[in-house]
Amino acid sequence: MLITVFTSTYNRAYILPYLYKSLVEQTERSFEWLVVNDGSSDNTDELVKGWQKENKITIRYIETANGGKHRAINRGVKEAEGELFFIVDSDDYLSTDAIAVIQADWKCEAETKTAISGLCYKKVIYTTGKTIGDDFPEPVVTTSTLNMIFQYKVLGDKAEIFRTELLRQYPFPEIDGENFVPESYIWNRITNDKPMRFINKGIYFCEYLEDGLTANFAKNLKQNPKGFEIYYQDILHYKIVPIKDKIKAIIRIIQCNVFELTK
């Protein structure tokens, strides 16, 4: 199997059907959908098990105690059967040709795939059709995530697809009493060692909801200071990061230390 589409979900039964529908409608079926229910209290369990009975696509389902998305990713990476690991959030969905596009692009990497960490595509706002953040400067760019930000000045969330074996080598730290570590901490480390292939295509649709991580940054920072501190400490080690951004990281580290003392 080529692709594991991975979704961690917490009380998202109200919107998860949109993602399921987009997966059922895929023109290429060389994927599994691995769902980790991160301690939901809604009817997610009933919903996903019902879809398994429909047997329209391959669905593997795991229930865990609530531990945050990073723990769910660690679990998913251990269980994944796909060569590639594609994180698709529970409030998002894919274009109908997304799996076919990934498969075709990965076939083009037959001779070089061990030299890269994976593929990366654009995300699109589903209510407007506009790209989130900036387009890549060329149809295909091979670089690290930090170079894409600081050298090419491309900002905004992207749809990353990593080689599963690499994610197994770079697990997220799991900190007692905290439920969040920024995904960029791991993405930066992986792509610094093996560059990513950035492809100027949009295959992933999303909207930032009120109960999402992006909308609750300040709250997450206060509740998970050690997880954020790990990320900001790591930022200081990269030469590509400008001094002004390292100063911002140091300020965040100070904030994290204050929050740790007051938890």
pLDDT tens digits for 224-238? 999 999 999 999 999
Structurally, how many domains does the chain consist of? 1
| CATH at residue 224 | 3.90.550.10
32 alpha carbon, distance to own chain's centre: 16
pLDDT number for residue 91: 94
Give residue 217's pLDDT: 86
- The closest of 124, 99, 119 to 109, measured between CA atoms, is 119
Walking along the chain (263 residues) 10 residues at a time, the average pLDDT comes out as: 96 97 96 98 98 98 97 98 98 97 96 95 91 94 98 96 98 97 98 98 85 72 97 98 98 97 84
Beta strands in 131-174 (DSSP E): 140-143, 158-163
Q: Sign of the CA dihedral 221, 225, 228, 233? A: positive
Which of 239, 234, 251, 249 lies closest to 183 in space, CA to CA?
Answer: 234
pLDDT score, position 152? 97
Domain that holds residue 123: 3-262
pTM of the complete model: 0.95
